[in-house]
Structure formats: structure tokens, C-alpha cells
């Protein structure tokens, strides 16, 4: 499939939006030409990144969650039970009305999220305190009839890869701890993708419909906008009351359970590709790169000796669990470099006759472009140690880029200016009116109150001038 | 979740239908209480079997296919392009008509299968002979508005786990080879599940709508009915003409491509559980068992020494990649046996003070019930070698049960009688009229012409008495 795209030109990352669209197509992540708005096709290469990324999140969750799978179709009566929840979703839900040529008796919603599919079953499954905590998750497609501009991996009508966890606990406090645990888990997940994220508690007007509160993690995109890449909601006993989820406590009393839910979508892939990529294409952390090492034989004489050496290196690396490809195609080296750089392969090994004479190989890092000659005898260790270095280096680079773009602001004008470049940290008195005023005046949104920051200063709300010890992140958002 | 189901009674497998429903609930495979007909919920335990089973099929396909993901929603105009295909599906398709409270401009079908979602993209992706063969697959949820009686894992309105592969080839012959390859692959897949399947070429009136021909594999269920558990379709250039999928051949000519598709659904889990299960519950081949070994400490004195020994064995087995659980709960041993037998755990290890004195452990096989004392010193090898023995033994048992229930038949009465117990092998002249007559007279269906059998006899069609060298499988089917 790559043939027709050969050596297409990727726009500079400075024009982020064009770079993003070009990267998705040229690096073969998503094809946007599917004939339904907001639905996109995963190219096999893109999907292999998705597999590696979702293996990480599965691994993290499997420690104390279980994977499960609930139906896509939700009957109207269940969907309509939770008033606040439905209000948040009613304009966004796709409805199945016909089966074959027959109108259905009961309208069926395509899940926009699965609370109303899962909780009628939790009512049956949760009986006793011994059943708690219950921690399940599923990875599914969900649907939102988005009227805003859609964008692959970011704003979709079919979210193809929604990882949603739903937990049940005995007490409100235990559910609150689980929300914290979920955020820790997401921070760890993004760290594995070499991406720093900012956790913050969403203001009340921006919480999940039906939740007591919401904590979210955001990443910073290259254009200075933030992308919400994970959310965790404390549902209190709100849904438990609606769906009658009770358990018998140690004293034999029937008590409403407390719940949380938390989710991550393929936005994690959007931020992965956008954060690390450059003008040459993708830059992938080794753990998620479908090909971790590409070996390029430099052949003009002794082709057999060179190819043998390449095969030996491949065998040795594969035995160590490394995903390796030899590119022995007829293309010229420059064209091979172009291709594998576009695909974000973390390390390129070049072996030619001169290297063989030195019993060495050239090792080129995708992230920095650094080239170094290394002895063939220790090639495995050289590769494995560089994987760690690359991972650390990508995370450090992304972290310092993020930190450079978080700005302390004290006036509305200051905020207005700084959100053009990144995230403003702004005092806020806590009044909803001031928050909404601020949003409107700066044309950006309050993300929330950082949950990982100990404030010890005193500040002034830029709207009402009241003193406050609280600051919030403000940013333009996707 | 297991608490409320504790020691529920499983109906005898002789009453297969009741056993099946009881098994799904008591062993926690599927919960049938979801409030939409034909949609069921995977219990976490059931889903963990599904994971292991689909890991096998992924592993087999990944050798020369790539995984991908296409949208669920298919616009009406694409869906309606292939006349024969749509005729096969029009009564079964769910239609999304509303987004939010707004009627959609274009009706959207929930995929019943993905030809019409994938092939418009193949038109864009296939350009040159160098792009061929193209072999992609996806594992997705698909939808059929079934009006027949629905049944978990077998006849569903939401098929949650449809593995569908779609390949493109230069020539009709290459596509035909791929269909054979697909059937070989499915036979290998089912062998890993210790299930023998029968491949046969479906009669023309039972082929996939839009295909040149269909080869399917069937398994025999305990009640004597067959279950179609995999199909492979030669699509010729029928869809290529409809969706304009052409490639430039070596001479620079634009030629229509040839295609195949082949699929397996969660019916593979239905036959896995039904074939091996018994009156005590599941019997799982080691490769797909979520827990492969359960260790039961027999404690009345020296609890510490016994528990230490159990932990040592667990550690040793886990180091060898075995999935192990120690059940040190307070339940009595009988209750533990009941639980783990119901879940199909292949091996149970019991360790008590007397065993310790002998430096031994008791090893009990789930499939045969055989118990044997084995030395602790060699426990890892004992376990691993028994896994192989169990796998072989399950396949042999299932194969001989199948072979005993395939009956040579020469008259209609004979067929009528034998299909009550299993599969009839019946001469057929090849005339559609005789085939349909036979179906009607015996109240069962022609599965197809076996593709793995060399016929050298001459037979008589039981309907028209014409001589023929062909015989077909006839069976009652799910
Ligand atoms: Zn204020
Ligand atoms: Zn005949």
C-alpha cells in the first residue's frame, strides 16, 4: 500500500494541523477517505502501534481489574434513566430505529459511554460487601454524533478504542481513592509513552454528567492547545440510586454502592504521535514501535558477507525480544532512510564492507539523529541500552517542552497572551461566575485545579480581585 | 460475583440445551440477562477464555496477515452497491436513522459483515500488482437482526467477536489457493482447541451472497446438530467489479482484482465449551484455560509447611509460564473441587502433610478425573508433560466421538434416522433439485461436499437414483 505514497512531502511541524494530517496519511496511521464523516480507517501500520499501546494499558489494568465486554446497543428506557447523564448526551446519541425493513419496538442507542449498559448488570452482580470492590474494564467502540469539526484520533463519531473502567465500592471514600488510583495509573501509562500529563480537577460545570466530580489528565499539543487524554469520575451513589445497585454490608443492611468510572480513548495515540514526531515523520518510543530496529545493508561489494552479518545481528536481537526488519530492497539508501524515519523506527543499523572490516556497525538514533560506530560483538547490549536512553530522553524532552510552556499569569491580558503559546496558571477565587467570566474574556477554558501541586502562596483572582490560595490551568483545548 | 451462584446445580449434559444454558451462567461465561434480545454480556471469566482463544487465531493470522480496523457504520449507498449481497442481508440489517434528535441525511447500516465498508478503501489502496496479495483482518462486533431464536455465542444480534479476513489477489487461481489456505488455517486453529472440524464446499444455494463459492468448517455439537464455525468465500472478481478494485499488471494493463474473505465468530467458544464440557462443568484445553493449575493445600496440621510447599510449587510453575492459583480459602475441599472443576482448570494439585512426608503431591486431571501421586522434585515436568497429554487426549476423544457419529447412508429413510444422532454421508447427483428435495424430505440440511475426502466409490443419488461419485454431509444444523 505504501507504493503510491512514496516520498510524499510532509508539511513542517510548525504548521501543526497540516503536519498532523500529512503524518497520518504518509506514515499510514489513519486513512481519512472513508465515506462517513468522523469515521476513519486504521491502516495496518497504525493499528500495530495501537496494539502495542493498548497492551501497555491492559498490562497496567490487569494487575487488579478484569477485562469484560458489554453490548453496544442500549435500550431507550435504560438509557433514559439517569436524568443528568442523559441531558449531557441526548444531542450526541445515534439511534437505531429499524431492524431490516421493520421499525423496532424499542429504540436502541449506540453507546456513547457504557454506564447505562453496565449498571443494570451491576445491579444483579453486586450482592454483598464480599463482592466489593468490583473493578472491570472493556475496550470498545463508542459513538458520538459530533456536530463540531471532526479530526482523526481526536474528535470522532466512532471512537474505535475506548478503554472504560467501571468500579464499585462500599464507601464514598474508597471510590475517591480509586479515582486517585486511576489518575496515578494514567500518569504511569503516559510515562510509558514518554508523555508528561497534567492532572487537574475539572470545575463543576465541566464534570461528567451524573458525577460528583471529575479529575482529568491533559497533554500539551505542539500548537499550544491541550488535549484531554484521560478522565476519572467519582459517581458517588448517584448511579447506584438510579440503577438500584445495593450491597449487604457487614451488619446485614442493604446500602447503596459507590462507583467510579475512568476512560482513555485513541487520543492517547494522537498525543503519542504529535508529541514526539518531527518534520521527518514519526518518532516512536521503543516499547510501542512496531519495528524497533531496521538494519540497512550497505552493499557495493562483498554482498554476501554483509548480508550474513545483517542476518546474524537480526537473529541475535530477535532472540533478545527485539522487533527487527532488514531492508534489503533495491531502493537507494536515502530512500530507505526516508521510509523508516517516517515510520519512527527508533534505531537504524547500517552495516557495510568497511564496518565489517572494523567488526562494527553504524547505529543511528531516530530521535536525535546521532550516529555512532559500535562493535558488532556487543551490538545487543548497545541496542538495549540505547532503548532505555531513548525512552528517558524522549520523556525529558517532552517534559521540558511542557514546563517551558506553563506560564504564571496574574492578569486577564497576561492569560490571553500566554494561552496562545501554552498553558496559563491563573489564580481563581473558586466562584463559578469568575471562572466562566475568565473563560469568556480569554477565549480559552479552565482545565481545572492541579491535583499534583502543593500551593503555599496567596494570589488574587484576576476577575474579582478576591484573595485565593488556588490556581487553575487555563488553555485553549481540542 | 461468584458468591450468589455458589454450588448451583448444572443440568446433565444429556439434556444439552439446558446444560448449555446452565454452564454459561454457573461457570460465568455469559450473562443472558441483558435487556436487549440477542445481546449478551461477557463475564470476566468468559472473556479471559475469549482472550486466550483469540490470541491463538491472531498468532496464526499474523504470520502473513496484518490486523486493521474499519468503521462500524456503512452508508446506505455503499451498502446497496452489490445487488446479490444486499439481497442476502437486507432483512437482517440494523439501520441508524437519527443522530441526537436529528434525522440523518444518509442512513447508516451497522455492519453485518464488512465487505461494503472495506472494499471502497481497497479501491484506493490497490494500485499495482506489487500491492498484491493484500491480506488484512479485523476482530470486530457485527450485527444481525435475527428473527430466529437467539442463543448466546451461537445466534446473536450482536456478534461481539467476528474475526473477518479480506484478501486481494491478482488471479482467480491465487484467490482459490487462499480459500484453501484459510480452511487449513481454521483446521489448525480448531486443532489447538482440541476440536475436529469437517470442511465442506457449500451447495450453490447456500453460498455467501455475492461469492463464487463457499467452503465452511462445521463441528458436531453434543446433541448431534452441527455448528458452522468458520467460512471462507471465493469472491471472484464480483466485488472488484462493483467497487472498482483494479490493479496495473506487469504489462501495464488495468485488471480487476480477485478477492476472498473468511470469518470465525465467538461460535468457536461455543463449540470449545460444548465439545469438552461434562456434567461437572467446563473442561478446558491447557492452552486456553485462564487458570491452568489450581493448588489446594490440605491443611489440618503443619499448615505452614504445607503452604510453603504450595507457594514453592506455584513459583516454580509460574517461572515456567504456567497460570497457577492457590486456593487457600476457608471453604472445605469438596467445595473447592466443585468450583475449579466447574471452571475447567486442567490440573489440580493437592498438597497435604502426608504428601510432604513423601516429598510428593497429588495430581488430578480435570478431563479424566485420574489422580496420581508425583514427586515434588519433578513437579514442573510432570505438569508440562500432562498438559500435552491432556491436549492430545481431548482431541482424540472428540475425534472418535465425531467419527462414531458420521453415518454412511444410502436411502432417504436412513438419512432421516441417522441425522437424529449425527451427520449422514449421502450420495448426491449434484442436481440442485435433488439437493433441495433431500433437505425437505429429511428435515435437515446438506452441509456440503467434503473437501478432505478422496472418493473412489460409485453411489446412487437417493432421490433420482442417478449414479454419482459424490457424497455430501447432511445434518441438522444450528
Ligand atoms: Zn473571583
Ligand atoms: Zn439426484
Side-chain-side CA neighbours of B324 within 13 Å: the count stands at: 23
The total number of structural domains in chain A stands at 3
pLDDT beneath 70: ranges in chain A? 1-6, 301
Query: Do B340 and B466 lie in a common domain?
Result: no
Query: Do A182 and A114 lie in a common domain?
Result: yes
Distance CA A374, CA B31 (A): 58
Whether chain B has a CB inside 8 Å of the CB on A120: the answer is: yes
Query: Do B379 and B427 lie in a common domain?
Result: no
Q: Are B81 and B243 in contact (CB under 8 A)?
A: yes
Computed from CA positions of residues A179, A184, A185, A189, in that sequence, does the dihedral angle turn out positive or negative? positive
Q: Give the H/E segment covering residue B51.
A: helix B44-62
Asked if A74 and B36 come within 8 Å (Cβ–Cβ), the reply is yes
CA distances from B235 to B137, B142, B229 (A): 16, 20, 19
| B60 exposure class (CB count in 10 Å sphere: 0-12, 13-18, 19+) | middle
CATH number of the domain that residue A349 is part of: 3.40.50.800
Q: Are A34 and A40 in contact (CB under 8 A)?
A: yes
The pLDDT, as a whole number, for residue B86 is 80
Domain boundaries, position A224: 16-276
Q: Tell me the ligand closest to B431's alpha carbon.
A: 2
Whether chain A has a CB inside 8 Å of the CB on B250: the answer is: no
CA distances from B431 to A112, A256, B200 (A): 51, 66, 17
The answer to whether position A398 is within a domain reads: no
- Mean of per-residue pLDDT scores for chain B: 95
The answer to whether position B179 is within a domain reads: yes
Residue A3 has its nearest CB partner, among B33, B51, B131, at B131
CATH number of the domain that residue A218 is part of: 3.30.930.10
Query: Do B217 and B102 lie in a common domain?
Result: yes
Query: Do A435 and A346 lie in a common domain?
Result: no
Q: Are A101 and B76 in contact (CB under 8 A)?
A: no
Chain B contacts in chain A segment 128-147 (CB below 8 A):
128, 130-131, 134, 136, 140-141, 145
Q: Give the H/E segment covering residue B119.
A: helix B115-125
Cα(B461) to centroid(ligand 2), Å: 5
Query: Do A158 and A237 lie in a common domain?
Result: yes
Query: Do A150 and A61 lie in a common domain?
Result: yes
Query: Do B362 and B235 lie in a common domain?
Result: no
The pLDDT, as a whole number, for residue A2 is 45
Of B110, B125, B77, whose CA–CA distance to B240 is shortest? B125
Q: Where among A249, A276, A303 does a domain terminate?
A: A276
Q: List beta partners, residue A367.
A: none
User: Is the bond leading into A133 cis (omega within 30 degrees of zero)?
Assistant: yes
Cell matching residue B186: 481454521
Supply the ipTM of this predicted assembly. 0.96
Cell matching residue B421: 444422532
Distance CA A295, CA A349 (A): 5
Query: Do A177 and A67 lie in a common domain?
Result: yes
Whether the pLDDT of residue B88 is over 90: the answer is no
Q: Give the H/E segment covering residue A83.
A: helix A83-89
Distance CA B283, CA B290 (A): 12
Distance CA A185, CA A189 (A): 6
Residue B47 has its nearest CB partner, among A41, A68, A75, at A68
Asked if A39 and B95 come within 8 Å (Cβ–Cβ), the reply is no
Q: Which residues of B touch A40 (CB under 8 A)?
A: 71
Distance CA A372, CA A385 (A): 14
Distance CA A99, CA B33 (A): 21
Distance CA B38, CA B278 (A): 26
| pLDDT tens, position by position, B383-406 | 999 999 999 999 999 999 999 999
Cα(B227) to centroid(ligand 1), Å: 68
Q: Are B427 and B459 in contact (CB under 8 A)?
A: yes
Asked if B110 and A96 come within 8 Å (Cβ–Cβ), the reply is yes
Q: Which residues of B touch A156 (CB under 8 A)?
A: none
Which residue shows C-alpha cell 449506540? A110
Q: Are B144 and B132 in contact (CB under 8 A)?
A: no
Q: Give the H/E segment covering residue A432.
A: helix A432-442
Distance CA B465, CA A165 (A): 63
Cell matching residue A163: 478503554
Q: Tell me the ligand closest to A470's alpha carbon.
A: 1
The pLDDT, as a whole number, for residue B307 is 95
Q: How far A396 CA sits from the closest chain B CA (Å)?
A: 32
Asked if A41 and B128 come within 8 Å (Cβ–Cβ), the reply is no
Q: Which residues of A touch B48 (CB under 8 A)?
A: 66-67
Whether the pLDDT of residue B126 is over 50: the answer is yes
Q: Is A310 helix (H, G, I), strand (E, B) or coil?
A: helix
Asked if A99 and B94 come within 8 Å (Cβ–Cβ), the reply is yes
Distance CA B290, CA A281 (A): 41
Of all residues in chain B, the one with the smallest CA distance to A137 is B44
Q: How far A106 CA sits from the closest chain B CA (Å)?
A: 9
Q: How many CB atoms are located within 10 Å of the residue B457 CB?
A: 9
How many residue contacts between A and B have a Cβ separation below 8 Å?
168
The pLDDT, as a whole number, for residue B1 is 53
Q: Give the H/E segment covering residue B423.
A: strand B423-427
The answer to whether position B400 is within a domain reads: no
CATH number of the domain that residue B424 is part of: 3.30.110.30
Q: Which residues of B touch A140 (CB under 8 A)?
A: 141
Neighbours of ion ligand 2 (CB under 5 A): B 429, 431, 434, 461, 463-464, 466
Q: Is A102 helix (H, G, I), strand (E, B) or coil?
A: strand
Residue percentage of chain B with pLDDT more than 90: 92
Q: Where among A387, A422, A453 does a domain terminate?
A: A387
Q: Are A404 and A220 in contact (CB under 8 A)?
A: no
| pLDDT tens, position by position, A153-187 | 999 999 999 999 999 999 999 999 999 999 999 99
The answer to whether position A116 is within a domain reads: yes
Query: Do B208 and B143 lie in a common domain?
Result: yes
Query: Do B260 and B350 lie in a common domain?
Result: no
Q: Tell me the ligand closest to A432's alpha carbon.
A: 1
Q: Which residues of A touch B51 (CB under 8 A)?
A: 67
Q: Which residues of B touch A41 (CB under 8 A)?
A: 68-71, 121
The pLDDT, as a whole number, for residue B355 is 93
The answer to whether position A347 is within a domain reads: yes
Of A251, A214, A216, A253, whose CA–CA distance to A235 is shortest? A214
Q: Are B164 and B259 in contact (CB under 8 A)?
A: no
- In this structure, the strands spanning B445-450 and B471-475 are antiparallel
Residue A36 has its nearest CB partner, among B34, B75, B127, at B75
Cα(B452) to centroid(ligand 2), Å: 22
The answer to whether position A381 is within a domain reads: yes
Cα(B422) to centroid(ligand 2), Å: 22
Q: Where among B231, B246, B276 does a domain terminate?
A: B276
Cα(A469) to centroid(ligand 1), Å: 12
**Plot region of B210 (φ>0 → left; ψ -120 to 50 → alpha; else → beta):** left
Record the pTM. 0.96
The pLDDT, as a whole number, for residue A342 is 98
Asked if A69 and B41 come within 8 Å (Cβ–Cβ), the reply is yes
The answer to whether position B3 is within a domain reads: no
- Strand residues in A76-113 grouped as ranges (E): 94-99, 102-110
Query: Do B147 and B265 lie in a common domain?
Result: yes
Q: What pLDDT band is residue B361 in, cutting at 50, 70 and 90?
A: very high
The sheet carrying A226-236 orders its strands as A66-67, A134-143, A158-169, A258-264, A226-236, A213-220, A198-201, A445-450, A471-475, A423-427, A406-408
Cα(B471) to centroid(ligand 2), Å: 11
The answer to whether position B287 is within a domain reads: no
Distance CA B184, CA B202 (A): 16
Neighbours of ion ligand 1 (CB under 5 A): A 429, 431, 434, 461, 463-464
Of all residues in chain B, the one with the smallest CA distance to A79 is B35
Amino acid at each position: 500500500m505504501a507504493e503510491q505514497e512514496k516520498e510524499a512531502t510532509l508539511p513542517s511541524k510548525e504548521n501543526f494541523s497540516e503536519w498532523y494530517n500529512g503524518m497520518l496519511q504518509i506514515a499510514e496511521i489513519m486513512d481519512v477517505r472513508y465515506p462517513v464523516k468522523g469515521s476513519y480507517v486504521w491502516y495496518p501500520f497504525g493499528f500495530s502501534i495501537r496494539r502495542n499501546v493498548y497492551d501497555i494499558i491492559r498490562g497496567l489494568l490487569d494487575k487488579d481489574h478484569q477485562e469484560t465486554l458489554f453490548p453496544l446497543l442500549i435500550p431507550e428506557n435504560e438509557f433514559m434513566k439517569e436524568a443528568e447523564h442523559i441531558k449531557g448526551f441526548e444531542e450526541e446519541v445515534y439511534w437505531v430505529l429499524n431492524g431490516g425493513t421493520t421499525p423496532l419496538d424499542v429504540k436502541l442507542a449506540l453507546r456513547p459511554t457504557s454506564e447505562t449498559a453496565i449498571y443494570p448488570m451491576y445491579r444483579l452482580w453486586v450482592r454483598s460487601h464480599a463482592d466489593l470492590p468490583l473493578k472491570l474494564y472493556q475496550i470498545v467502540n463508542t459513538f458520538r454524533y459530533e456536530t463540531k469539526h471532526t479530526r482523526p484520533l481526536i474528535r470522532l463519531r466512532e471512537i474505535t478504542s475506548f478503554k472504560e473502567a467501571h468500579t464499585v465500592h462500599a464507601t464514598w471514600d474508597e471510590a475517591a481513592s480509586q479515582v486517585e488510583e486511576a489518575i496515578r495509573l494514567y500518569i504511569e501509562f503516559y510515562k510509558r509513552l514518554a508523555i508528561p500529563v497534567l492532572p487537574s480537577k475539572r470545575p463543576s460545570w465541566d464534570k461528567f454528567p451524573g458525577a460528583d466530580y471529575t479529575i482529568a489528565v491533559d497533554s500539551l499539543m505542539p500548537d499550544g492547545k491541550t488535549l484531554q487524554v484521560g478522565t476519572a469520575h467519582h459517581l458517588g451513589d448517584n448511579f447506584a440510586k438510579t440503577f438500584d445497585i445495593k450491597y449487604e454490608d457487614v451488619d446485614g443492611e442493604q446500602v447503596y454502592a459507590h462507583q467510579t468510572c475512568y476512560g482513555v480513548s485513541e487520543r492517547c495515540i494522537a498525543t503519542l504521535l504529535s508529541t514526539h514526531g518531527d518534520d521527518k515523520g514519526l518518532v516512536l518510543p521503543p516499547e510501542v514501535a512496531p519495528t524497533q530496529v531496521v538494519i540497512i545493508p550497505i552493499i557495493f561489494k562483498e554482498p554476501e558477507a554483509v548480508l550474513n552479518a545483517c542476518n546474524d545481528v537480526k537473529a541475535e536481537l530477535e532472540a533478545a525480544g527485539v522487533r527487527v526488519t532488514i531492508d534489503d530492497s533495491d531502493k537507494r539508501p536515502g530512500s530507505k532512510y526516508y521510509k523508516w524515519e517516517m515510520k519512527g523506527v527508533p534505531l537504524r543499523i547500517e552495516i557495510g564492507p568497511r564496518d565489517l572490516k572494523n567488526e562494527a556497525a553504524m547505529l543511528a538514533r531516530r530521535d536525535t539523529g546521532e550516529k555512532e560506530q559500535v562493535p558488532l560483538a556487543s551490538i545487543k547490549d548497545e541496542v538495549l541500552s540505547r532503548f532505555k536512553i531513548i525512552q528517558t530522553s524522549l520523556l525529558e524532552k517532552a517534559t521540558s517542552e511542557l514546563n517551558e510552556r506553563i506560564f504564571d499569569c496574574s492578569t486577564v491580558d497576561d492569560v490571553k497572551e500566554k494561552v496562545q503559546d501554552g498553558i496559563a496558571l491563573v489564580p481563581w477565587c473558586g466562584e463559578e461566575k469568575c471562572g466562566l467570566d475568565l473563560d469568556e474574556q480569554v477565549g480559552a477554558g479552565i482545565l481545572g485545579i492541579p491535583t499534583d501541586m502543593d500551593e503555599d502562596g496567596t494570589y488574587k483572582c484576576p476577575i474579582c480581585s478576591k484573595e485565593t490560595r488556588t490556581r487553575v490551568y487555563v488553555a485553549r483545548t481540542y
